[in-house]
Amino acid sequence: MQLSVVILAAGQGKRMNSDLPKVLQSLAGQPLLQHVIRAAHGVNPADIYVVYGHGGAEVQAALAHENVEWIPQPQQLGTGHALMQAMAVIPDEHTVLVLYGDVPLIRPATLKKLADLAAAGALALLTVKLEDATGYGRIVRNADGSVSAIVEHRQANAAQLEIREVHSGLMAAPAAPLREWLLGLRSDNVQREYFLTDVVAAAAQAGTAVAAIQATTSSEVMGVNDKIQLSQVEAVHRHEKAEQLMLAGATLADPARIDIRGDVAVGRDVFIDVNAILVGNVHLAAGVKVGPNCLIQNSRIGAGTEIFSNCVIDDATVAENCRIGPFARLRPGTVLHRGVHIGNFVEVKQTEIGAGSKANHLTYLGDSKVGSDVNVGAGSITCNYDGANKWPTVIEDGAFIGSGSMLVAPVRIGAGATIGAGSTIGASTPDGKLSLERSKQITVEGWTRPKKLSEDDKAAAIERALKKPKV
């Protein structure tokens, strides 16, 4: 039986006190709704439908890359009404799995259990036992333990409020009977809404089995209604991701002080120090060491490479046994080959650096191709931008760039060439030769250091300096 997933995501989220729709609030760098869509893809559905309402255009624009069908709910008249909008396009022979756009930690394995129960003909509910069930619909069972109804918190009597087993909101059912149950919903309640939970009573009256399975953990079904709950979900997600890395072989200096905002893969014996932030697709090969306060985004780091503290690595490829930092920045397009050293306050952008090369201090390499075994001295810069265009610099194998050199692109430094310290090189240099450019050094006789002026003398000096010249 084919599966249709419906994600209810039309709510405004007033308690967020935010101009951003609730389902677009960020969890680990991605919208809440995107986490739910990813979980839905994990059960291989035929279709995923997202019912949208508040901020619909913004929600669709933010998730336009997702392969989902968008279903409008112009009036938000409750969860039952929201599902009705999607049922119009779902075939009777499908199983329907209902998710919520603000329940982002749900696991595909749990969803599969729900869908399998429904495929066998039951109305399947996902429940959880909570110490504090405030705000949740209570699971009311018959004497034989079967589910007879779900009672919303506001409609529950005193005895029902004592029930700790609650409905997570997630359910699955065969499409044809679900459609009939939805058509029978009434809105004669305090909120004047059509509650999806009322289909439980309708199913029981129709003689349909109502099966309830409990979530593995309460955190799996945590909903997000305000910024406090958002931070709680973030903490759970962070803990789960940290555990996954440790099970894969990484050592974390403090699992509570790492942020994982994407898909991170690690090899054996990786070490990650405190306050690391890993974003997007990150691969850390065996034996990589990441120092404190580093940001690594959409990058691959080769085996045995060490990244010292306070580095930023973005969209870069780093080979094995490199040394980076501290306080280094690798910008998009950076490729480092085996054994490269990038030191403190060095910035690299759109540059490939060959094996064994070094730029250890206070250097900028942009739009460049650097060969193997090159040494770039402290304070050297590739001057790649003329105010309108970017130009390349090529430094061949074995070159030595003296400290404080300016390489004005486009320019080529020959293999084995040496650039004298303090040079501004604007023309390509030959292989194996020393090239330098310096003005004549002079000593100015009679010069004295400036002395501190009174405020009046200072004002007069400024006035003289800024006076327009006579024409």
Cis previous bond, 292, omega within 30: no
- Between the alpha carbon of residue 361 and those of residues 30, 341, 366, the distances in Å are 36, 10, 15
DSSP letter assigned to residue 18: S
Count of beta carbons in the 10 Å neighbourhood of residue 52? 27
Q: From the CB of residue 81, how many other CB atoms can be counted at a distance below 10 Å?
A: 21
Per DSSP, the three-state class of 32 is helix
How many Å from the N-terminal Cα to the C-terminal Cα in the chain?
90
**CA nearest neighbour of 5 among 64, 117, 87:** 87
| Rg, C-alpha atoms of the chain | 32
Three-state secondary structure string covering 64-103:
CCCCCEEEECCCCCCHHHHHHHHHCCCCCCCEEEEEECCC
- Distance, CA of 118 to CA of 140 (rounded, Å): 20
Contacts 24+ apart (CB under 8 A), 453-456: none
DSSP 8-state code for residue 385: B
Token pair recorded at residue 291? 């120092």
Catalytic residue among 41, 54, 153, 361: 361
Which whole-number Å values give the CA distances from 456 to 24, 311, 449, 459, 465, in the listed order? 59, 47, 20, 5, 14
DSSP state of 353: E
Quote the crossing angle between the two packed helices 32-41 and 108-119, to the nearest 10°.
50
* Pairing outcome for strands 358-361 and 300-301: unpaired
SS3 content of the chain, % helix, strand, coil (to 5): 25, 30, 45
By three-state DSSP, how is residue 127 classified?
Answer: strand
361 counts as catalytic: yes
324 vs 230: CA distance, rounded Å:
35
Q: Evaluate whether 169 touches 103 at the Cβ level (below 8 Å).
A: yes
Residue 383 β-bridge partners: 408
Amino acid at 328: A
Closest among 193, 196, 195 to 171, alpha carbons compared: 196
Q: Report the C-alpha gap between 234 and 213 in whole angstroms.
A: 25
Residue positions annotated with a catalytic role? 361
